[in-house]
Structure 1
Amino acid sequence: MDVPGLWERVDPAQLLLLRELAEHGSVTAAARATGRTPSAVSQQLKVLQRRVGVPLVERAGRGVRLTDAGRALAGIAAGVATALAVAETDWAGYRGGAGGTVRLAVFHSAGELLVPGLLDRLATAPQITLETYDEDVSQDDFAALTAGYDIVVAHRSDDVLPPDRGGIEVRTLLREPLDVALPLDHPLARRDRVRPLDVIGEQWIAPPAGFPIDRVLTAIAARAGEPVRVVRRTTHLPLMEKLVAGGHGVALLPRHTTRDRAAGRLALVPLADLRAGRIVEALARPDKAARRAVQVVLAALLEEAGPYRDRAGAGPGPVRPG
Structure 2
Amino acid sequence: MGWEWGQLQLIRELADRGSVTAVAAATHRTPSAVSQQLKAIQRQAGIPLVEHVGRGLRLTDAGRALAASAGGVATALAEADATWDAFLGRTAGTVRLASFFSAGELLVPGLVERLSAYPELTVETFDEDVATADFAALVVDYDLVVAHRPDDTEPATDTGVRVTPLLREPLDVAVALDHRLAGREQVEPAELVGEAWIAPPPEFPIEQAVRALAARAGAPARIVRRTTHLPLMEGLVARGQGIALLPRYSTQEHASGRFVLVPVTGIRAGRLIEVLSRPERAARRAVRVVLAALQDEAHRIARGGAPG
* TM-score, reference length from structure 1: 0.91
Aligned length: 304
Aligned to 1:317: none
Q: Any idea what SS the aligned residue of 1:98 has?
A: coil
Q: After TM superposition, give the deviation of residue 95 of structure 1 in Å.
A: 4.1
Tell me how far apart the structure 2 counterparts of residues 36 and 208 of structure 1 sit (CA, whole Å).
Answer: 37
Does structure 1 conserve the Cα–Cα contact (< 8 Å) formed by 2:156 and 2:163? no
SS of match in other structure, 1:193:
coil
Distance of 2:183 and 2:168 partners within structure 1: 25
Matches for 1:232-251 after TM superposition, within 5 Å: 232-251=225-244
The equivalent residue for 1:186 is 179
| Equivalent-residue separation in structure 2 for 1:37 and 1:84 (angstroms) | 27
Report the CA distance between 1:70 and its aligned residue: 0.6
Q: Which moved more, 1:292-301 or 1:164-173?
A: 164-173
The correspondence for 1:143, drawn from 128, 136, 148, is 136
- The amino acid of 2:60's aligned partner reads T
Q: Which amino acid in the other structure matches residue 175 of structure 2?
A: L
8 A Cα contact 1:81 1:287, kept in partner: yes
- In the alignment, is the contact (CA less than 8 A) between 1:200 and 1:220 conserved in 2? no
CA contact (8 A) 1:26 1:65 kept: yes
Aligned-residue RMSD, C-alpha: 1.3
Task: Name the amino acid aligned to 1:138.
Answer: A
Q: 1:125: which partner in 2?
A: 118
- The answer for the alignment partner of 1:319 in structure 2 is none
- Structure 2 partner of 1:83: 76
Q: How far apart are 1:86 and its partner, in Å?
A: 1.5
CA distance in 2, matches of 1:126, 1:244: 42
Match of 1:199 in 2: 192
**Are residue 16 (structure 1) and residue 14 (structure 2) matched?**
no
Match in the other structure for 1:260 = 253
Distance 1:144 1:49, change over 3 A: same
Q: Deviations over 1:170-209 (max 9, x none)?
A: 1111100000000111111111111111113111111111
Q: Which amino acid aligns with 1:13?
A: G
Larger mean CA deviation between 280-289 and 90-99 belongs to 90-99
Out of 32, 40, 44, which is 1:39 matched to? 32
Q: CA deviation at 1:263?
A: 1.0
Report the 3-state secondary structure (helix = DSSP H, G, I; strand = E; otherwise coil) of the residue aligned with 2:41.
helix
The residue number in structure 1 matching 2:208 is 215
Aligned equivalent of 2:59:
66
Separation in 1, partners of 2:294, 2:30? 35
Amino acid at match of 2:299: G
Alignment equivalent of 1:52, drawn from 45, 48, 68:
45
Query: What SS does the corresponding residue of 2:174 show, helix, strand or coil?
Result: strand
Where in structure 2 are the equivalents of 1:161-176 lying within 5 Å?
161-176=154-169
The aligned counterpart of 1:318 is none
Give the distance between the partners of 1:297 and 1:35, measured in 2 at CA: 27
**Cα distance between partner residues in 2 of 1:124 and 1:45:** 44
**What percentage of aligned pairs have identical amino acids?**
61
State whether residues 85 and 287 of structure 1, in contact with CA within 8 Å, keep that contact through their aligned partners in structure 2: yes
Q: Which segment is superposed worse, 47-56 or 28-37?
A: 28-37
Look up the equivalent residue of 2:301 and give its one-letter code: Y
1 CA distance for matches of 2:224 and 2:152?
24
